[in-house]
Amino acid sequence: MDRDAAPRLSAPAEQDLAEVVPQAEWVTVRKIGLVGVGLLAAAAALGPVAPGSTAWPHTVRLFLVLFGAVTAGAAVSMRPDLWKSWAIGTGAAVLAIAGTPAHWDSFRLLFSVMAVVAAVWTAVRLAPPVYRVRIISALLLFHFTGIFLATTTPPQTPWVTEQAFVRVFNPYLQFLYLRNAYHFYSPEPGAASVLVFLLKTETGRDPVTGDKQYATKWVVLPKRPGDVKDPLGLTYYRRLSITEQLARGTPGLRAASFEAREMRGRRQLAPIPMHPSDAQEVQYQLPQPEVTRFILPSYASHVILENTPNKEAAAKTTVKVYRLQHNTMGIEDFIDWRKRLGPLKSPYHPMWYRPFFLGEFGFVQDADRPGSVQIELVNPQEPMLYWLVPIMPRPGGLPPGETTKREFLDYMSFHALGPEGLGPETTVDDLGDPKFKDRVFDWTQLR
């Protein structure tokens, strides 16, 4: 039989999606949606009559909100093509705001955003097709304009741009968590920070001199490769963002104020020089009050407990905290960096770091709760507190063939270990001696 004479199979008739997967009837959608709205209305009505000190009515409200929101959301998902479904979703979200207890403020914020989204989409479904395209285009333009402004608003910026970002786009981007990466890493990323801790645990006393003896341990947070637990290094960079919580500083003190004079007077008592290439006003960075009161002690407590075997050892341990600001190389430093002479051709050289001393912390007895302990700053009058502890070039450079010196002066290790860890006669220039190798900070672990 001739191949060309064979009868052709007719193509199957095109079918609409609604014919293949039958859509739910509006009556069914309305019933389910109104059940969810009813549960949320009950939670909202229970709020004003629930006693503030009684927990169980608020627990009931939470369950009503949970089941009501899920039920109303299911109704919307059954017929997302109908504006009436989205109108039910809008009403449900508004009732969820009123039904959620006040101490669940994050969920109230979530339901507020859901109410706005549902209301906007109700308007989109009501609008004629030509206006739907315009509305959706405007929403996309708003979204990408916000991202563009996030990358272009680091100082200095025009007043109009700054006001538009702060008052309009910033709340939107902050809620979606789209602000941080675009705002802080573009166009100039700035300096990142790592945290370095020195733990000192009292182990006894010298039988000859009677002085206290200590065991020391350096801890870096975050640290590679230990904190890189996934192929993309997400765990490392999440921990790196945690360190930035300690970088939030307060504006500088006025030069003529009493606090500024006292702070500079204490700094002059320290046997550590100022950094020769940094301005004096940037060498003192006072953290914000919530950092010094809550975040910094919490970090110190965590590090002590994570690195001591028991509570007895933790009670004998103090920790010195340093925030190492890692300055980036300038453009001129990147040009022909392989041909550059001297130590600064490596971006991980210690002299690219700016260590700020954030205090020494230890556990003390809590006066308000007998038998309990709390973490406290050991010496609030420490001369170097919140000051830059410089890593400086060695004057005159490193002599040829010298094996007991380094091309830089590590004042961070000198300050952290102190005379009790290095000896009263040890100078900062002696730290390159191999006998101190196991005690001073190993800068290669920051690479």
Which position has the higher pLDDT, 301 or 187? 301
Query: If DSSP codes are grouped into helix, strand and coil, which group holds residue 220?
Result: strand
> What span, in angstroms and rounded, lies between the C-alpha atoms of 199 and 308?
9
- pLDDT value at position 406? 86
Residue of 327, 75, 363, 367 whose CA lies nearest to 201: 363
Copy the structure tokens of residue 150: 């996030």
- pLDDT value at position 1? 44
> What span, in angstroms and rounded, lies between the C-alpha atoms of 68 and 64?
6
pLDDT tens per residue across span 11-24: 444 456 556 667 88
pLDDT tens per residue across span 344-370: 677 888 999 999 999 999 999 887 888
Please name the amino acid found at residue 322.
Answer: Y
Kindly write down the DSSP assignment for every residue of 300-366, as one continuous string.
HHHHHHHTSSSHHHHHTEEEEEEEEEEPPPPHHHHTTGGG--SGGGSTTSGGGEEEEEEEEEEEEE-
Which position has the higher pLDDT, 142 or 330? 142
CA distances, 372 to each of 5, 170, 300, 308, 315 (Å) = 96, 43, 17, 18, 11
- The mean pLDDT value for 137-154 works out to 87
> What span, in angstroms and rounded, lies between the C-alpha atoms of 87 and 33?
10
Q: Cis ω on the peptide bond leading into residue 276 (within 30° of 0)?
A: no
> What span, in angstroms and rounded, lies between the C-alpha atoms of 101 and 104?
6
Specify whether the CB–CB gap between 325 and 356 falls below 8 A: yes
Specify whether the CB–CB gap between 312 and 304 falls below 8 A: no
Q: What are residue 363's phi and psi, to 5 degrees?
A: -85, 135
- CA 339 from chain centre, in angstroms, equals 37
> What span, in angstroms and rounded, lies between the C-alpha atoms of 140 and 209?
74
CA dihedral 293, 295, 296, 297 (to 10 degrees): 70
Strand partners, 8: none
Residue of 263, 270, 287, 312 whose CA lies nearest to 412: 270
- pLDDT interval class at 398 (50, 70, 90): confident
What does the chain come to in residues? 447
pLDDT tens per residue across span 262-298: 888 888 888 899 999 898 888 998 898 899 999 999 9
Q: Is the pLDDT of residue 9 over 50?
A: no
> What span, in angstroms and rounded, lies between the C-alpha atoms of 88 and 68?
12
Query: If DSSP codes are grouped into helix, strand and coil, which group holds residue 377?
Result: strand
Q: Is the pLDDT of residue 260 over 80?
A: no
Specify whether the CB–CB gap between 154 and 180 falls below 8 A: no
> What DSSP character marks residue 162?
H
Q: Is the pLDDT of residue 83 over 90?
A: yes
> What span, in angstroms and rounded, lies between the C-alpha atoms of 302 and 300?
5
Side-chain-side CA neighbours of residue 185 (13 Å):
8
Q: Please return the burial class of 246, using the count of CB atoms within 10 Å of its CB with bins 0-12, 13-18 and 19+.
A: buried
Please name the amino acid found at residue 375.
Answer: I
Specify whether the CB–CB gap between 199 and 317 falls below 8 A: yes
- pLDDT value at position 51? 65
- pLDDT value at position 17? 55
Query: The whole model's pTM is what?
Result: 0.66
- The mean pLDDT value for 103-120 works out to 91
Q: Which residue do the tokens 């960075």 mark?
A: 285
Q: What strands, in cross-sheet order, belong to the sheet with 192-205?
A: 212-221, 192-205, 317-326, 353-365, 373-377
Specify whether the CB–CB gap between 414 and 431 falls below 8 A: yes
Domain ranges of the chain: 22-126, 129-184, 192-330+343-446
> What DSSP character marks residue 274?
P
- pLDDT value at position 148? 87
336's torsion region: left (phi>0), alpha (psi -120 to 50) or beta? Answer: left
Q: What is the mean pLDDT of the chain?
A: 85
- pLDDT interval class at 328 (50, 70, 90): confident
Strand partners, 393: 408
Residue 101: partners with Cβ closer than 8 Å, 6 or more residues away: 47, 58, 61, 62
Copy the structure tokens of residue 243: 């360190």
Which position has the higher pLDDT, 353 or 149? 353
